[in-house]
Structure 1
Amino acid sequence: MNNIATTLFLGKGYRVKKQVRKGNELRVYIEYEGKQRCPRCGSENLVKNGKDTKWRKKLHMSFGFFRVYLLFKRQRYKCKDCGKAFSQVIPILRKKERFTSFFKQAVIFWLIFFPFDLLSLLLGVSRRTLLKIAEEFISRVMIEELKDKERLVIGMDAHRFHRKDFALLLVELLSSLPFGLIQDKKKAFMDFLLSLPPRVREKIDEVVMDMTVRYRRAVEEILPHAKVVCDPFHLISYMNHQLMEEKRVIEVVKKRKIPGRVLRLGKEK
């Protein structure tokens, strides 16, 4: 059974009790035997105080239609020093999550090579779930890198991840460091800015973005000291769009086709 624990990348302290194959699922029943500390006083002078009555199930690996689940029961403890009762802490598991930390790390790795749509089919999870995992990783890991920088210039742009659904990517332009991936909605964007540490918000000098009014107003409200800059790509794209609209109007009035190059050179008559 220890070989199974190694194959599943569980690390030390985990003991596999049994494994059951059920349809397209492999259910691995585990126990964690690592040392525990009291969350209140840090003491290791503990006594067992009950256990979960039902097995909890977390997704650990996924290969298309075949999945590997870890099932466990949390041991309850009581501290002899301060009387605090608490549940066992298992490193690869977090409360109120359906996945292990190994599964989330695998998602981050595969997102380097595959788009959301394809990875959703390969792993058998929804695109929203993949976006949430990526958002959590980028926000938790990358924001720590921003705290040591003296000046921050933020770039933001929306990227399509499925049909009409977009995700908003935020990048620190001076270091090309992505630090935010959120839903393309004003409320999600404002909540993300407010969740940044105060000393990180104070260092933001410029925000480079497209010409979307709702995001510009959100930046002006939460980051009043920052300068809002329209990036050249969207500015030129907007000018080309207005030029083509003018071309269509002229074609309707004169009832003939006009090459777009004529308007760009300013030689229209």
Structure 2
Amino acid sequence: MDKGIAMLLGLQSWILYRVHVQPDRIDVYTGRPRKEARCPACGSVNRSVYDRCRQWQQKLHTWCNGLPVFLWVRPRRFRCRDCRKVFTERLPGLRPWARRTERAEAQLLEELARRSFRGAAEATGTSPNTLRRLLLRRVKDGVGLERALQDLPEVVLGIDEHSFRGRDMMITVTCVAPKRRLLALLPHDRVRLLEQFLRKLPASVRGKIRAVCIDLKEGWRRAVERALPGVPVVADPFHVIQDANRRVDEARRVEQEVTGQRIPRWPLVKNEENLTDQQAAQLAAIRKRHKNVAHFHWVKEQLRDVYRASSREEAAAILDRLILNAQEAEDAALVQWGRTLRRWRTAILAFHEHQASNGYTEGVHTKIKLIKRLSYGFRNREAYVRKMLLAFLPLAGLTARPHFLT
């Protein structure tokens, strides 16, 4: 019976004196069978027991059928035969002066990964402040990049931003290929911080990076080029088409204000092959009456053809044609768009070589938003970073030096 209880509670190497089951808790009185201990000062092994703690000490260990299980221990004190110092034995799975075992802390963090601080505290019978202190102590702001990427010969990094609070943004760094993993969260979106992070990457990680996928931010591209010379930059297809839809919609609103005629939005921003018959008729009317808006729409559809091209050469021919057409237009906004596409030409065409996008990074942001809603928001930036990493990464991987930069 004792063996079954010990196996259930993970105490196979302990001696169970007695188990006391109460309506609201389970008390397990335990001891250690070994008669020796290692001196923390000189490292020698000693068998000379000097004394034993007079009172039993209570340690939260686990939960069984919803009831907390507490260990009651009486650590022994030894006198070192070499340095003659008196020390208390170290019990496995217990830090000195800790009130909880490592097993209990791991279960608390697993519960916290799925709930808010208050929800996890109510489910485990602890307090939100206790869980917050545990999170800040156990989760080291990130996973070691060398360990996270050690099984991958090459990687493609994805860099994007998400909202911490309102317009206060933070940078998300992921591995988008060949395997998808969250790597780090940077506490703000300054270009200097991103460049600092990339420069501090270990040499073994820098050698594996074959591309970096970003959105259309000139500062980020320059930071990547300075920190990772020779690594190609890939313009994220989603953000390129999103920027195109934004420009088309802006041209529609300007034309609508000038002419005083209502111009429907959806036929312009929706993929042309997915239009209904009514929307197709509306698009044909727009092309007939509003030539400038139709020109913007044509550039947007040509950009989609760039990504649907079967080869880089075909994509380059389509992109060069639309850039030349846009730069020769009469509309100043269209000319400016053509200049932007010319600056990002190499990054746009790099998609056909690396087939990289930030789709996984956007999925990470969706899960982050869900966790923020469950937690009713965050005010502490450091706790926010560690809580998000806890939700994505296994606890065993959150023990390396952090990537939270201040």
Q: Is TM (by shorter chain) over 0.5?
A: yes
Provide the residue aligned with 1:10 in structure 2.
Answer: 11
Q: CA deviation at 1:176?
A: 1.2
1:237 aligned onto 2:242? yes
Paired with 2:70 and 2:171, the residues of 1 have a C-alpha distance of 32
1:152 and 2:158 correspond: no
Aligned pairs for 1:116-135 within 5 A: 116-117=115-116, 120=120
Counterpart position of 2:179: 176
User: 1:202-258: CA deviations, max 9, x gaps?
Assistant: 54343334567897788678x444555443334433443444444444444444432
Name the structure 2 match of 1:139.
143
- Using the alignment, how far apart are the partners of 1:96 and 1:230 within structure 2? 52
TM-score, normalization by structure 2: 0.44
Whole-angstrom CA distance in 2 between matches of 1:194 and 1:98: 41
Distance of 1:153 and 1:96 partners within structure 2: 44
What SS class does the counterpart of residue 245 from structure 2 fall into? helix
8 Å contact from structure 2 (residues 162, 171) kept in 1: yes
For 1:204, the equivalent position in structure 2 comes to 209
Number of the residue aligned with 1:90: 91
**What does 1:35-74 correspond to in 2, within 5 Å?**
36-38=37-39, 42-48=43-49, 55=57, 57-58=59-60, 60-61=62-63, 66-70=67-71, 72=73, 74=75
Q: Which has the higher helix share?
A: 2
From the superposition, tell whether residues 146 and 134 of structure 1 become closer, same or farther in structure 2 (CA, over 3 Å). Answer: farther
Q: CA RMSD in A?
A: 5.4
Cα distance, 1:248–1:137 mapped onto 2, change above 3 Å? same
The CA distance in 2 between the partners of 1:25 and 1:134, in whole Å, is 26
CA, structure 1 residues 204+54, in 2 after alignment: closer, same or farther (shift >3 Å)? farther
> Relative contact order, CA 8 A, sep 6+: which one is greater?
2
Q: Which runs of 5+ in 1 are unaligned?
A: none
* Residue number in structure 2 paired with 1:258: 263
User: Do the aligned partners of residues 67 and 195 (structure 1) sit closer, same or farther apart at CA in structure 2, a change above 3 Å counting?
Assistant: farther
Q: Report how many aligned residue pairs link the two structures.
A: 263
One-letter amino acid of the counterpart of residue 204, structure 1: I
State the alpha-carbon separation in 1 of the partners of residues 50 and 233 from structure 2. 57
Would the aligned equivalents of 2:58 and 2:70 in 1 still touch at CA under 8 Å? Answer: no
Q: Decide whether aligned partners of structure 1 residues 98 and 159 sit closer, same or farther in structure 2, where only a CA change above 3 A counts.
A: farther
Aligned residue type for 1:6: M
1:7–1:208 distance in 2 versus 1, CA, 3 Å:
same
Q: Spell out, residue by residue over 1:166-209, the C-alpha distance to the aligned partner (whole angstroms, 9 max, x if none).
A: 99765433441536365764699899878865533454343334
Taking the aligned partners of 1:51 and 1:212, their CA distance within structure 2 comes to: 65
Partner letter of residue 179 of structure 2? Answer: S
Compared with structure 1, are the counterparts of its residues 45 and 134 closer, same or farther at alpha carbon in structure 2 (3 Å cutoff)?
closer
CA contact (8 A) 1:43 1:79 kept: yes
Which blocks of at least 5 consecutive residues in structure 2 are unaligned?
Answer: 273-285, 292-406
For the residues of structure 1 that align with 2:233 and 2:97, how far apart are their CA atoms?
Answer: 38
